[in-house]
Amino acid sequence: MTKGNDDGLIGEPRWPVVAAVAVFLGLTLALRIYGTHREAVGPAWLLPAIEIALLVLLVTADPSGDARHVRWLRRGAIALTVLLAGAAVWSTVRLVTDLITGGQVTNRAGTLLAVGGLVWLGNNIVFALLYWEFDSGGARARVLRTQAYPDFAFPQHLSPELAPPGWRPRFVDYLYLGLTNGTAFSPTDVMPMVPWAKLTMAAQSLVSLLLIGLVIARAVNIFH
């Protein structure tokens, strides 16, 4: 597991994570277009700047370097991801507040469904990033197997005969985890094994259930 693979991220392609952050950036811009009257967190440029900074960090950094460099790299990525998670939570709170108080975005079913879909998808991407960043100490730690037991038990962990030797989850596995947990409101094929994983999945399920329930109920009411 050394430097020299196709992307420099010791054993894991970097482009899926970059693509996910780019999609989140697109969702942020789309949300501003569909909900221009809604309050933003800080200046209008703040959230896109955070997303672009995370993109630059993921594209230009070399996680296969020395331990001190990697440590600072991961801290920066975690800080930016947490800020994105805070922005996603804020968008959810704003939408739920509009749904409860009757904000402008809730007056048209099409706009409401568009904004609700963007917020829901953004939440799932951010939670996938959180799972990927924190599970078993991060991508590098998973490659080096510095943690004896995983924080999430994937099917390949439970049935190792169904996977190649040395299999480990990559970002697409965490993206699938985020999407299915946000849709089913509960674990599907991936089991949380430690408290932080259980609480984070529970939080995502509650946020998704609240968001989907209120948006659909309001949209049906508008259609009628």
pLDDT, tens digit (0-9, with 9 covering 90-100), for 44-101: 666 677 777 777 776 666 555 555 656 777 777 788 788 888 878 888 888 888 888 7
198 pLDDT more than 70: yes
Query: What is the secondary structure of 106-165 as a DSSP string?
Result: GSSHHHHHHHHHHHHHHHHHHHHHHHHHHGGG-HHHHHHT-SSS-SEE-HHHH-GGGS-T
Contact, 122 vs 21, CB < 8 A?
A: no
Chain mean pLDDT for the chain = 79
- Model confidence band, residue 128 (pLDDT cutoffs 50, 70, 90): very high
Where helices occur in the chain by DSSP H, the ranges are 15-34, 46-60, 67-101, 109-134, 139-144, 155-158, 171-184, 195-223
* pLDDT for res 112: 81
* pLDDT for res 9: 44
Instruction: Return all residues near 175 (Cβ < 8 A) that are at least 6 apart.
Output: 16, 20, 124, 125, 128, 132
